[in-house]
């Protein structure tokens, strides 16, 4: 891992939010409809992807250039889901996993080779849009979402309303 990636990971380790129970399960592909508690099909991943990219497009970051949209990455999804499941199963809330691993460790374990990795976590929101809203209101989380460095992301949910968003830039 390059030194600037380590700095980004260390910075991301300070990002956390304790900002419910969504009745949806996010799928690794983000394209398979899921069923909510009322039995209605939905695709919360697609809605979140649109919301986060609309937010980035509308951001005014003077003098920074406009932000490009983030694209979904299934390897990042694996890392995000692993951490959301770990926090849910072991009843804790931290960027460090119950096994002592960091977001960089989880992303690497999925086979992702990135130069920058960031992670936003949240607990208690009843939907992906509520998690995004909480992150937008938190300075550090918002900085991660509005960073011009990451180009890819994934979002995961686990029972207990644990949300994990991983943002990253692949190595050239």
At 58 the pLDDT is: 84
State the pTM of this model: 0.75
Largest CA distance in the chain: 48
Distance CA 84, CA 106 (A): 11
Query: Mind listing the pLDDT tens digit for each residue in 15-46?
Result: 333 333 232 333 333 333 333 333 333 456 67
Q: Cis peptide before 14, with omega less than 30 degrees from 0? A: no
Q: Who wins on pLDDT, 5 or 156?
A: 156
Per-residue pLDDT, 161: 93
């Amino acid at each position: 891992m390059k030194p600037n990636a380590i700095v980004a990971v260390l910075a991301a380790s300070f990002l956390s939010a304790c900002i419910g129970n969504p009745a949806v399960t996010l799928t690794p592909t983000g394209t398979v409809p899921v069923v909510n508690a009322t039995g209605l099909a939905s695709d919360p991943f697609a809605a979140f992807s649109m919301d986060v990219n609309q937010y980035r497009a509308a951001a005014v970051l003077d003098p920074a250039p406009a932000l490009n949209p983030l694209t979904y990455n299934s390897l990042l999804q694996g890392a995000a889901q692993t951490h959301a499941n770990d926090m849910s199963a072991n009843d804790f809330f931290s960027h460090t996993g119950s096994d002592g691993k960091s977001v960089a460790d989880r992303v690497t374990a999925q086979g992702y080779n990135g130069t920058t990795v960031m992670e936003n976590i949240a607990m208690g929101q009843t939907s992906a849009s509520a998690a995004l809203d909480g992150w937008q209101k938190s300075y550090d989380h918002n900085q991660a979402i509005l960073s011009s460095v990451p180009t890819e992301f994934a979002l995961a949910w686990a029972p207990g309303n644990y949300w994990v968003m991983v943002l990253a830039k692949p190595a050239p």
